[in-house]
Structures are given as structure tokens and as C-alpha cells.
Amino acid sequence: MDVSGETADLLIREGVQATEGALKLSGACLKNVAALLVAISRQDNKVVGKTNARRLARDPASAEVVQLHKEDIPKFQRLAKQYGILYFFVHKRGNENGMTNIVSNQNYAAQLNAALEELGYPIPQKAQENTPKKAIPRTPPERFSKEQNSGLKQRAGAANERPSVKGRLETLRAAAESMKDGVTPAREKTR
């Protein structure tokens, strides 16, 4: 029997198994790192400055649009970086009045107002509706009909008349007296 040959085989087998485990582990690590890098590259992590409509559309906040003179764009870009505003410009074709639209979202409204105020533009006011808090219902209550199951229960003759409390008490007393006279024993449970 050759003991040294078996020992050498065992040593080589253990080395191959250790190398195989290390390669599997490094391969899985490399796959995870590649997936992480792809995920980071697909995400637009820009939080300040000029961006595109797709990036702003990801945010569920509503859009804010303000107008600016084209000659003020470089100043606005500097202020937007300073105030931390995420925005993009919308230039209309054939626009000859020298104005451009800046689109941002509701999250940056305060910073946008501060930048516009520093440029000398008036702060945009919110459009307020002149409707009262409780709007007038479509159909007044007197127009409800019994066919529509409006929930109003009225007697045929007296719409505004309230029932008499004394009369109701008398009818309840009479019903109680009639029950006392004709008392029927309750059914007992039999097994």
C-alpha cells in the first residue's frame, strides 16, 4: 500500500474543492455587483439643476409652470443650483415674445418663488376659486319624490306637522294594557 499517493490525492481534491467554492462565491459576488451597477446607472439620482420631463414625471407631486425671459435663463440656472431646484425648460416653437416656460414640481415651489423674486419677477399667486365651501345641491330638498327613495318619510296630509307626544304615550299605554289582559305564557323549552 502506498500511503503517500492517497495523501496526495486527498490534498489535491481538497484544494480543488476549495478553489471551486471560492470561484462560485466570487462569481455570485460579481453578478450582484453588476446588478447593483446597472440599477444605479438606470436611476436618475439628480436632485438639483436642469433635468428632463421624464425625471420630473416620476415624482407624484403636481407640476408648476412659470414664465421667464430668455435673457434671464443663465441667471436662473445659477440661482436654481444655489436654491436646489429641479427644473427643465420648455421652449415653444414660433414664440417671438422672448418668454420661455420653466417646469418644476410642487416640491420646489418655495425655492422657485425665491429664485424668481430675486430675478425681479412677481411671485405667482395661486388661483383661488370663488365657490363657497358648501356648494348648492343640484336638487333642493323639496323636490325629492317618493319614487326616488329619497329617505324622506312624510305623511300624506301633514308634511310639516309633528306627532303629539301625549298621543303617542296614550297609544303605547293602551298597547301595554291590552298585552297585560291577554298575557300568553312563553313557550318553555322541552327536551
Biggest distance spanned by C-alpha atoms of the chain: 121
Give the pLDDT confidence score for residue 4 in this predicted structure: 74
More reliable by pLDDT, 187 or 71: 71
Q: Look up residue 141 and give its three cell numbers.
A: 330638498
For residue 22, pLDDT over 90 is answered with: yes
Tally helices (H) and strands (E) across the chain.
Answer: 5, 4
Q: Please tell me the predicted confidence (pLDDT) of residue 18.
A: 94
Instruction: Report whether pLDDT(149) > 60.
Output: no
State pLDDT tens for residues 77-100.
Answer: 899 888 888 888 888 777 778 888
Say how many CA atoms lie within 13 Å of 33 toward its Cβ: 6
Q: Which segments of 43-164 does DSSP mark as H helices, in order?
A: 53-58, 73-83, 109-119
24-33, 80-89, 105-114, 146-155: which has the highest mean pLDDT? 24-33
Is 154's pLDDT higher than 80? no
pTM of the shown model = 0.43
